[in-house]
């Protein structure tokens, strides 16, 4: 199908009758090394990616490509839609999705044969956007990549996977183009489907109905049951540009949206966060043994509102318009959705007018969400079961969720075990997450499972926005202990141990390596080794102690032991040995962060207030709790932020903490307090050394041996605060706290942002008398008042954490700040 070179004056595209201009535009590189010379139109189209980009070893240039579905002819068929997906037709293409995905190297690939040599319109192209020429690339992707749709973007970037046209899946018109060919859309724009707005469909049905009834707003999503949805390739600018080009045409707008709305622009592709990341395994789980085919549509991480009592699940607009039946009235229509267990739910799919736009919601989802035991941060997935056309709602629990690209491309889960649809509800399945043994769920502070702990999570209406990015999820899921375990010193760097409040932290001079958690041990020969667990088979393999390992490690990467470089190889460890190993590992890890009891007790003696403040779930034994409680984040906070605001739930939520509690909140409060003091001392020392303005500084910067309460009250609180302080926590207590700092002076607060050191240092603004910057304010207030920052305290910008909080705590706002 390769196109022979055109006559010199003709466009290289043999399908094109245009003459190329005197100054032809360049197309693809020819075998000769030169470039195809194209007419303007074809060049434009080429640049827009309309033509096959896949390298076909046996063909050159421009052609109708069965493999990628692109065409030599810059035209589109009039009918892009899935003709009544009759079972017969489906039989002709028995491409059960999981089979398909399992048989090819690319998860989203569809069977090329499905598309014949039709000329798909790129935007409505039924093909997956990620394509690899099967003729040459079938082995380019490792099998396991099939289960890592996340990697697509990366692969795209790497160029190992080509991105096909977008939108089509959004449109659901992932049509099987079987009949019509060569109808040139460009030549016959009127071929486009009807533009009229389709009345609401009473019941969500098979896509074809939409297609055939021309509701083209993408509500044809049911079509193309054989295919997994095409994650919108926003990463591929080339195609994106292409898409934009098309979308910007009025016709396209209508085709895509099914309603003559002019606001459809280039953002019609789903945001990456909504790309379905459902794995084949999950699909298999949903489809079971039936012959049904699952078409993943999109997924969404539940917000607090979604998971709250309101029972409204906000649907991403694009997703709603692409995959759900069109609705013209705000009342919408009832939508039957089947969950992974097979239960059928009926939601009201509707929208609210919003800023000249629409806000789509599913109403009445509470029972379903509760049934799935979903919480904010968990992910619901929407798929379509074909040929029934049934909507399927799956889910992934947050702790097992594949982070979305936009959220975290670093890894899949804490330990790389992806959640399974429908699995999370089964507590037994949760142990899977812990199979690595690294994150033992019964280890102190290792309760990464959000689900059970979050049953009482405070996701009510009063909560401010809860955004849980994947990074945040990790933050929530990981205890410090776990995080420490994940961090490895950079090569050739030995970590130094920082002791903070009796807790040892490894500190790295260079950026630490986020690596696979391993278990270090000594083999029989006394040689230090480490054990690492294969992500795929979960077997433990022995590797050299100094081997940096990726966070996702499989047996195949066991280059040190070829005999065990395959998952089929037996595990070297006996189950007993493994058990011992894991036990010792966990206990060692636990010890690492476990404070010496006496010391902690002493340090905490004055922390009644702290104990009373804390709001995270109290562990009966006072051991470390996870931060899995939903927290209200500063909108400006970034993933990884561990400030007190971000790691604790809103005020008044959850039981109070014990004095000896070592949860993250308490630890952070203590640590920040300590840091504050250290900084003050340091600053003071420096100033003393400078020997200038000492007297004045003494007023501003209390001497280290002054009482803390004096510090605090002097820093930014009114005298009344002092009274409160005296009541809630004695001076003596506070002094004790401070005294407990002494062994750690000069240590580093892991959360300090060096660039903000000055800003946050109490003495940095001595001139104004505003001594303490927000975070410290919050910390101090927290410590002194015995109140957790309330919602109101949580200044989104984090720049006045004490203000209203103090007021709420019956303490006048800090005069120094205001």
What is the binding site for DNA (CB under 7 A)?
263, 265, 267, 271, 274, 300, 303-306, 309-312, 314, 316-319, 330-331, 350, 352-357, 359, 363, 376, 406, 461-467, 469, 634-636, 796
Cβ neighbours of residue 67 under 8 Å, at least 6 residues apart?
Answer: 52, 54, 56, 112, 131, 133, 134, 135
Nearer to DNA among residue 82 and residue 298 (C-beta): 298
Q: Which one-letter DSSP state was computed for residue 24?
A: P
Instruction: Give 300-337 as a 3 state SS string.
Output: EECCHHHHCCCCEEEECHHHHHHHCCCCCCCCCEEEEE
CB of 164 to DNA, least distance (A): 23
Longest dimension (CA), the chain: 95
For every residue of 386-448, DSSP letters joined together read ETTTEEEEEEE-GGGPPPPTTT--S-SSSSS----TTTTTSHHHHHHHTTTSSS-TTSTT---
CB of 323 to DNA, least distance (A): 13
Nearer to DNA among residue 316 and residue 617 (C-beta): 316
Nearer to DNA among residue 354 and residue 685 (C-beta): 354
555 neighbors 537 (Cβ within 8 angstroms): yes
129 neighbors 53 (Cβ within 8 angstroms): no
Cite the DSSP H helix spans in 124-236: 134-137, 151-158, 168-171, 207-212
3-state secondary structure of 248: coil
Nearer to DNA among residue 177 and residue 358 (C-beta): 358
Q: Give CA separation, 764 vs 667, 702, 805, in Å.
A: 25, 13, 24
Query: How deeply is 227 buried, as exposed, middle or buried, from its count of CB atoms within 10 A (0-12, 13-18, 19+)?
Result: buried
Structure tokens at 466: 């809860």
Cβ neighbours of residue 365 under 8 Å, at least 6 residues apart?
Answer: 306, 311, 312, 313, 345, 347
Q: The tokens 């999370």 sit on which residue?
A: 424
Q: In the chain, what is the straight-line distance between the N-terminal and C-terminal CA atoms, in Å?
A: 76
Pairing of strands 390-396, 333-339: parallel
Nearer to DNA among residue 353 and residue 525 (C-beta): 353
In angstroms, the CA 150 to CA 477 distance is 20
716 neighbors 772 (Cβ within 8 angstroms): yes
Nearer to DNA among residue 348 and residue 623 (C-beta): 348
CB of 476 to DNA, least distance (A): 14
Nearer to DNA among residue 310 and residue 581 (C-beta): 310
In angstroms, the CA 174 to CA 550 distance is 37
134 neighbors 101 (Cβ within 8 angstroms): no
CB of 305 to DNA, least distance (A): 3
Nearer to DNA among residue 353 and residue 491 (C-beta): 353
Nearer to DNA among residue 89 and residue 464 (C-beta): 464
CB of 489 to DNA, least distance (A): 31
Nearer to DNA among residue 272 and residue 445 (C-beta): 272
How far, in whole angstroms, is CA 34 from its chain's centroid? 43
Residues linked to residue 503 through DSSP beta bridges, in sequence order: 500
CB of 357 to DNA, least distance (A): 4
CB of 309 to DNA, least distance (A): 6
Nearer to DNA among residue 13 and residue 153 (C-beta): 153
CB of 219 to DNA, least distance (A): 15
Nearer to DNA among residue 352 and residue 560 (C-beta): 352
In angstroms, the CA 541 to CA 100 distance is 32
CB of 331 to DNA, least distance (A): 7
**10 Å Cβ neighbour count for 770?**
18
Nearer to DNA among residue 79 and residue 463 (C-beta): 463
CB of 473 to DNA, least distance (A): 13
CB of 460 to DNA, least distance (A): 7
CB of 303 to DNA, least distance (A): 3
For every residue of 574-624, DSSP letters joined together read -HHHHHHHHHHHHHHHHHHHPPPHHHHHHHHTTTHHHHHH--SPPPTT--P
From the CA atom positions of the chain, what is the Rg in Å? 30
Nearer to DNA among residue 170 and residue 306 (C-beta): 306
Structure tokens at 377: 């941060």
């Amino acid at each position: 199908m390769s196109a022979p070179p055109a006559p010199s004056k003709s466009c290289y595209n043999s399908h094109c009758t245009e003459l190329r201009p005197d100054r032809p535009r360049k197309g693809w590189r020819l075998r000769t090394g030169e470039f195809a010379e194209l007419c303007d139109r074809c060049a434009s189209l080429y640049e827009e990616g309309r033509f096959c980009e896949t390298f076909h070893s046996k063909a050159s240039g421009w052609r109708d490509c069965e493999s990628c579905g692109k065409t030599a002819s810059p035209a589109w068929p009039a009918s892009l839609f899935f003709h009544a997906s009759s079972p017969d037709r489906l039989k002709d293409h028995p491409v059960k999705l999981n089979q398909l995905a399992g048989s090819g190297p690319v998860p989203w690939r569809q069977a090329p044969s499905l598309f014949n040599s039709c000329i798909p319109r790129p935007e409505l192209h039924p093909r997956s956007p990620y394509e690899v020429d099967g003729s040459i690339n079938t082995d380019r992707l490792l099998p396991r990549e099939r289960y890592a749709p996340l990697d697509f973007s990366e692969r795209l970037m790497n160029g190992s996977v080509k991105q096909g046209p977008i939108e089509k899946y959004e449109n659901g018109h992932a049509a099987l183009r079987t009949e019509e060919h060569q109808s040139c859309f460009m030549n016959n724009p009127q071929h486009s489907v009807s533009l009229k707005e389709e009345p609401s469909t009473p019941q969500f049905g098979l896509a074809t109905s939409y297609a055939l009834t021309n509701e083209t707003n993408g509500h044809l999503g049911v079509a193309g049951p054989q295919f997994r949805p095409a994650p919108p390739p926003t990463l591929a600018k080339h195609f994106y540009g292409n898409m934009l080009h098309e979308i910007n045409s009025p016709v396209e707008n209508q085709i895509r949206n099914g309603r003559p709305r002019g606001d459809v622009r280039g953002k019609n592709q789903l945001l990456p966060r909504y790309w379905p990341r459902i794995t084949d395994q999950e699909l298999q789980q949903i489809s079971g043994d039936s012959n049904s085919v699952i078409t993943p549509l999109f997924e969404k991480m539940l917000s607090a509102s979604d998971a709250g009592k309101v029972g409204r699940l906000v649907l991403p607009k694009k997703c709603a318009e692409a995959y759900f039946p069109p609705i013209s009235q705000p009342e919408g229509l009832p939508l039957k959705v089947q969950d992974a267990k097979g239960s059928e739910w009926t939601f009201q799919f509707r929208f609210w007018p919003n800023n000249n736009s629409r806000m789509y919601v599913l109403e009445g989802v509470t029972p379903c969400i509760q049934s799935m035991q979903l919480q904010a941060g968990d992910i619901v997935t929407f798929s379509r079961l074909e040929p029934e056309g049934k909507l399927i709602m799956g889910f992934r629990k947050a702790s097992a969720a594949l982070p979305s690209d936009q959220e975290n491309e670093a890894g899949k889960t804490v330990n790389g075990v992806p959640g399974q649809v429908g699995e999370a509800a089964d507590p037994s399945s949760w142990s899977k997450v812990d199979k690595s043994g690294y994150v033992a769920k019964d280890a102190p502070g290792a309760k990464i499972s959000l689900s059970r702990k979050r049953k009482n999570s405070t996701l009510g209406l009063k909560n401010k926005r809860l955004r849980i990015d994947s990074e945040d999820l990790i933050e929530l899921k990981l205890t410090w202990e776990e995080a420490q375990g994940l961090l490895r010193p950079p090569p050739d760097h030995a970590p130094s141990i920082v002791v903070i409040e009796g807790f040892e932290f490894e500190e790295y001079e260079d950026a630490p390596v986020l690596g696979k958690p391993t278990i270090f041990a000594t083999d029989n020969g006394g040689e230090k080794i480490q054990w690492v667990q294969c992500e795929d088979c979960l077997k433990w393999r022995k590797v050299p102690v100094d081997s940096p390992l990726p966070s996702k490690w499989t047996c195949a990467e066991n280059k040190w032991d070829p005999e065990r470089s395959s998952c089929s190889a037996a595990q070297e460890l006996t189950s007993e040995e493994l058990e011992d190993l894991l036990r010792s590992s966990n206990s060692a890890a636990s010890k690492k962060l476990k404070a010496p009891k006496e010391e902690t007790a002493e340090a905490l003696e004055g922390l009644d207030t702290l104990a009373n403040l804390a709001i995270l779930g109290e562990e009966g034994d006072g051991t470390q709790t996870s931060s899995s409680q939903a927290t209200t984040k500063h909108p400006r906070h970034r993933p990884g932020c561990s400030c007190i605001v971000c790691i604790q739930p809103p005020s008044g939520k959850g039981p109070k903490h014990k004095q000896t509690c070592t949860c993250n909140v308490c630890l952070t409060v203590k640590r920040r307090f300590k840091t504050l003091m250290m900084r003050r001392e340091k600053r003071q020392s420096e100033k003393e050394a400078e020997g200038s303005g000492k007297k004045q500084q003494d007023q501003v910067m209390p001497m280290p041996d002054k009482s803390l309460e004096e510090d605090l009250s002097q820093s930014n609180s009114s005298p009344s605060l002092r009274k409160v302080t005296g009541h809630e926590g004695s001076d003596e207590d506070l002094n004790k706290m401070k005294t407990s700092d002494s062994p750690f002076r000069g240590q580093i607060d892991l959360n300090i942002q060096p660039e903000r050191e000055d800003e946050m240092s109490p003495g940095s603004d001595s001139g104004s008398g505003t001594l303490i910057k927000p975070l410290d304010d919050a910390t101090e207030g927290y410590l002194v008042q015995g109140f957790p920052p309330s919602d109101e305290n949580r200044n989104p910008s984090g720049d006045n954490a004490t203000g209203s909080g103090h007021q709420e705590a019956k303490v006048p706002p800090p005069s120094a700040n205001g």
